[in-house]
Amino acid sequence: MNSKIRRRALRNFGASLFLSEMSAAEMRQIADELSYGNLASELGELIRDMATLSTVDSSKGDFGRNKNPFERTKNVSSPQDSRLRVALNVINRRRLSKKAIWELMRTASPEFDAEQISADATIKEHVSKYFETVSANDVARFLNLLEGETTDAYLSGISKRG
């Protein structure tokens, strides 16, 4: 990467964090996640998505800033799509089986019948159908379970203290 672009990106990223009024502890968590977690790859993916959505006027180097904002939002993925992408990334990272995913779905939303989806369907189809069928709260609960959040309030409180 060009060093000038790198410095400009780091300066803009730092300024954005500074203006966000985050606490020092939150900034340290972000730094740790960038260094040791998968936030850096997620940030890279977000930037790639933003570059894809932007219309570039090569003569001005304008990334759609002067365009009608409604024109650019037509192709923006829905929150459902980003949640699906996050879920699939976690499933791939943890190498979960369909059976394990079904169990997490049943835990997050007991009323959901995973058997209604064909056993031959892909994991992406299973998760997508689940997201279409259940409430937003159930989707959030499922994502938390995927990330490994405990459902026991006592254990959750202990883990947050550490």
Contacts 24+ apart (CB under 8 A), 33-38: 38/89, 38/93
Burial class (CB in 10 A: 0-12, 13-18, 19+), 123: middle
> Hey, is 62 helix, strand or coil?
strand
pTM of the entire structure?
0.46
Compute φ and ψ for 14, nearest 5 degrees.
-65, -40
pLDDT confidence bin for 162, thresholds 50/70/90: low
CA 145 to chain centre: 14
Instruction: List, for residues 37-67, the tens digit of each pLDDT value.
Output: 888 888 888 887 777 765 544 444 555 454 4
pLDDT in tens, 97-125: 888 888 888 888 888 877 777 778 888 88
Kindly give, in sequence order, each residue whose CB lies less than 8 Å from that of residue 147, ignoring residues fewer than 6 positions away: 90
